[in-house]
């Protein structure tokens, strides 16, 4: 078997065998095949697609290309959650402690932000002293003790994906459905959890901007997850505007703390409760959606969710006092408010551009080696459908300098369209997908 034979077979649209896909994953992980051959095969897959069986076999081969975590020493079902990425998407910092406070065992491996999307690990590292690199033994001990850990992936987790992902980015094959599915699920399956909740975004800030593409991706991941032996539930949720109002690492931690403390509601809480409810469902704790939400709201009201976040921060070396005083988080030296400057209704947002505005301030990175400024970002003061006047606050800028703030303000203004006509609110939920099929969610849900 050679890489050239595999390329030729897929070029002709034929189905690859399990052995051929294992050969591909090992060649990518060990770098025994040249990049130009891997790139050729990626393009053949992009053009000719893969069957569910092929995608499953590729996912498992990529999972097995490096280390896999064994979490069997942790009692009960371990539930993970994964988002396809967005702006102001701080759900993990809310739903993970809430779900753990309600009895779900959460052993979550998260990633860093790249491009316009934020990363959970970057947000956690804005907490003074917070450690996101744990050994498998430390992870198991922490989850056994407090039921919760959110940590980084090891360098040896699905190394085939690391090679192929980098090549996809420079060969225009990022949008290949089977390659997206295998990339996401190989890492999740290698992380050792028992079931997965997927949050698949759709809209101007999402990986898949068109709704039907997002539903297709979610459905493919659910099918492949089940073929790989893992229960998977997916929600398709909106990213027509930032999910939370705070964009930037320390600012997003601050918003998560405010939500868990019961000081703020809104779309971020609404989506977190729905995703957390799916985690409870997969854990076999509560069957009724209403009861699941009520349990989590009770954990906010009685402080159990915020206490669980404090426990996790302390267990991972961070300062849990940030949950009582968010002023202990990194603070930007320059803060000012920008006004809307005109009258009308917020009609639309280019959410990816809003993410890039924070990235340019220093909150995001272009490559994984870039250094972040955890303090910078902005607080968006408007939502789609809001009526505004010239004096309505548009955003609160947290920047290193006035010049940075001015550039960010210009980018934010360019990304938000204000018009004369009334406009409906942006939707949060579009579909829930299980192995039984696709259930579309009405506009008023």
Q: Looking at the annotation, which residues are catalytic?
A: 82, 161, 168, 183, 187
CA quadruple 34, 40, 42, 46: dihedral, nearest 10: 170
Instruction: For Cα atoms 82, 435, 80, give the angle at the middle one, nearest 5 degrees.
Output: 25
Which residues does 444 contact at the CB level (< 8 Å), separation at least 6? none
Q: What is the CA radius of gyration of the chain?
A: 22
Question: Of 199, 263, 180, whose CA–CA distance to 237 is shortest?
Answer: 199
For residue 61 the two structure tokens come to 């081969």
DSSP state of 78: B
Instruction: For Cα atoms 299, 82, 70, give the angle at the middle one, nearest 5 degrees.
Output: 90
Number of DSSP helices (H) and strands (E) in the chain, helices first: 16, 14
Neighbours of 340 (CB within 10 A): 21
Question: Of 17, 6, 11, whose CA–CA distance to 47 is shortest?
Answer: 11
Q: Using the structure block, give the residue that is written with the tokens 């690859």.
A: 16
Kind plus residue range of the DSSP H or E element containing 58: helix 52-63
Which residues does 182 contact at the CB level (< 8 Å), separation at least 6? 55, 58, 59, 62, 161, 224
Contact 243, 268 (CB under 8 A): yes
Kindly report the length of the chain: 445
User: Residue 380 pairs with which residues in a beta bridge?
Assistant: 395
3-state helix, strand, coil in the chain (%, to 5): 45, 15, 35
Measure the CA–CA gap between 332 and 122, rounded to whole angstroms.
Answer: 16
**Residue 369, helix vs strand vs coil:** coil
Q: Using the structure block, give the residue that is written with the tokens 């897959």.
A: 45
Whole-number Cα distances in Å, 302 to 39, 291, 305, 365, 385: 53, 16, 8, 38, 33
**Residue 378, helix vs strand vs coil:** strand
Contact 117, 86 (CB under 8 A): yes
Neighbours of 31 (CB within 10 A): 11
């Amino acid at each position: 078997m050679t890489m050239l034979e595999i390329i030729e077979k897929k070029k002709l649209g034929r189905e690859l065998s399990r052995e051929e896909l294992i050969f591909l994953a090992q060649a990518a992980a060990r770098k025994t095949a040249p990049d130009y051959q891997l790139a050729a095969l990626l393009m053949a897959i992009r053009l000719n697609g893969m069957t569910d069986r092929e995608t499953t076999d590729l996912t498992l081969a990529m999972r097995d290309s490096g280390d896999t975590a064994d979490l069997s020493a942790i009692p009960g079902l371990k539930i993970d959650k994964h988002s396809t990425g967005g702006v102001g998407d701080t759900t993990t910092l809310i739903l993970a402690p809430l779900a753990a406070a309600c009895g779900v065992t959460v052993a979550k491996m998260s990633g860093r932000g790249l491009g316009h999307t934020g990363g959970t690990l970057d947000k956690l590292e804005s907490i003074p002293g917070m450690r996101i690199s744990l050994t498998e033994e430390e992870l198991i001990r922490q989850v056994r003790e407090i039921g919760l850990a959110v940590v980084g992936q090891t360098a040896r987790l699905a190394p085939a994906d690391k090679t192929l992902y980098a090549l996809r980015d420079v060969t225009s094959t990022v949008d290949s459905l089977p390659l997206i599915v295998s990339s996401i699920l190989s890492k999740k399956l290698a992380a050792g959890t028992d079931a997965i909740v997927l949050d698949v975004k759709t809209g101007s800030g999402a990986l898949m901007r068109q709704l039907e593409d997002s539903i297709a991706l979610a459905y493919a991941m659910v099918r492949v997850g089940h073929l790989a032996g893992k229960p998977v539930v997916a929600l398709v949720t909106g990213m027509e505007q930032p999910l939370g109002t705070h964009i930037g690492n320390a600012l997003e931690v601050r918003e998560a703390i405010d939500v868990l403390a019961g000081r703020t509601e809104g779309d971020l809480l609404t989506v977190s409760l729905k995703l957390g409810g799916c985690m409870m469902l997969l854990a076999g704790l509560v069957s009724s959606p209403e009861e699941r939400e009520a349990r989590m709201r009770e954990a906010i009201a009685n402080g159990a969710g915020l206490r669980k976040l404090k426990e996790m921060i302390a267990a991972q070396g961070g300062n849990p006092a940030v949950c009582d005083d968010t002023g202990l988080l990194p603070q930007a030296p320059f803060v000012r408010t920008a006004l809307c400057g005109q009258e009308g209704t917020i009609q639309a947002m280019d959410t990816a551009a809003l993410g890039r505005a924070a990235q340019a301030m220093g909150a995001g990175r272009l490559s994984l080696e870039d250094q972040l400024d955890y303090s910078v970002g902005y607080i968006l003061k408007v939502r789609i459908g809001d009526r505004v006047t010239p004096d309505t606050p548009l955003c609160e800028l947290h920047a290193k300098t006035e010049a940075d703030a001015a550039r960010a303000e210009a980018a934010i203004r360019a990304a938000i369209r204000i018009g004369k006509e009334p406009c409906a609110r942006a939707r949060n939920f579009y579909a829930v997908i299980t192995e039984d099929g696709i259930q579309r969610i009405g506009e008023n849900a």
